[in-house]
Chains A and B, each alone.
Chain A
């Protein structure tokens, strides 16, 4: 299927991209990896009259630790994230996620910024970034601002960026001592979106869970945290009963829709299991395991 006609621009600097975006405000779309946008355009679900292709902004491709966080440039390819040594070593939740996003061909085009900006509850990075308590950096005509991830997803495919802003960076706080995280995804086949998936990032003090954040994938209209499951963990000892209670809380508080991937009850129960498995793994990693 063939997308509708559009005007195409390929700026080579962020300032040029921002001024194009301002000039065409309202009917322009940013084209990053295109792996969500082009399929939507082929089905005419999206019919932008102008595309601003930011693949020339190579300055926005980096993954490195800076001060108290990991800085990920918006145009970093999913495949680079998968290969980055720092991610593999120190951000296991992010590494788990990078490995299960779509397939290797899609990951050679898709960007981390696009995955988050798309605000698709079926995408895997939103849950992971919610669990990490990440910060999104956006640049617009009035300069740069930061947005807490908890405030970023405002609706189905809707985010807190204004029409003239570009997402430039995602900051993931460095996990402190005693931290562990994991992502567990249940999919029908390799490369598919999740039936349900759970991102867990927690901190242990002894065997007590001192902090926990949980994000869920594809079981709500807007990417969501699971606050009930989080409070079932915090202050408790990391034992089987606590973990089961957290799984049950997540199953109750998620809000899946029935579709090809299963019924509501089925998705709730898969969510329970994904949350439990991610907590188990996160606890093991916090204790120094893999």
Chain B
């Protein structure tokens, strides 16, 4: 069995743990780091419920080994609400009813956070393209798109105001 020491900075906190090479990043996050906001929705890399941001890019954490994240900055849903205040994306999903069961929500939010960082003012089409790796079985997506539009506007207004 091949064990490795892995150091990650997760939501700003630096953590070192020993992991088996075959440990998937999603299992490392949920089981070793006890951050269960990141979900597992499939076995086939299809659903995006496990989306986290690694080195600035949203990826499916079920299709990467924890050892590959050694030295990386990782953001998960738990890191979003700074000082107990909802992030504009979380607020958007609340205000625009962007969720029903909520299973897909954190993946949607982490994908959106990733692409808004590159394209802060997306068109509706660009939002739909951006979340095309995330499946939702409840909402029909329209409310999710509205929630992301809400967040994009709010984030832009905050930028402008600074």
Contacts and interface: CB of A to CB of B under 8 A. Distances in A.
Are A and B subunits of one complex? yes
Interface of A: 1-8, 10, 31, 34-35, 38-39, 41-43, 51, 53, 55, 79, 102-106, 108-109, 190-191
A153 B129 CA distance: 31
A98 B134 CA distance: 19
Given A8-B65, A35-B63, A39-B45, A104 B2 contact: no
Contacts of B59: 105, 108-109
A105 B111 contact: yes
A84 to B, nearest CB: 14
Interface of B: 1-2, 4, 20-22, 24, 27, 43-46, 48, 51, 57-60, 63-65, 67-68, 70, 111, 114-115, 129-130, 132-134
B22 A4 contact: yes
B111 to A, nearest CB: 7
A5 B43 contact: no
A270 B44 CA distance: 26
A7 B2 contact: yes
Contacts of A6: 2, 21-22
A109 B65 CA distance: 12
A122 to B, nearest CB: 14
Contacts of A51: 21
Contact of A104 (B63, B65, B115): B115
Contacts of B129: 104
Given A8-B67, A38-B63, A103 B133 contact: yes
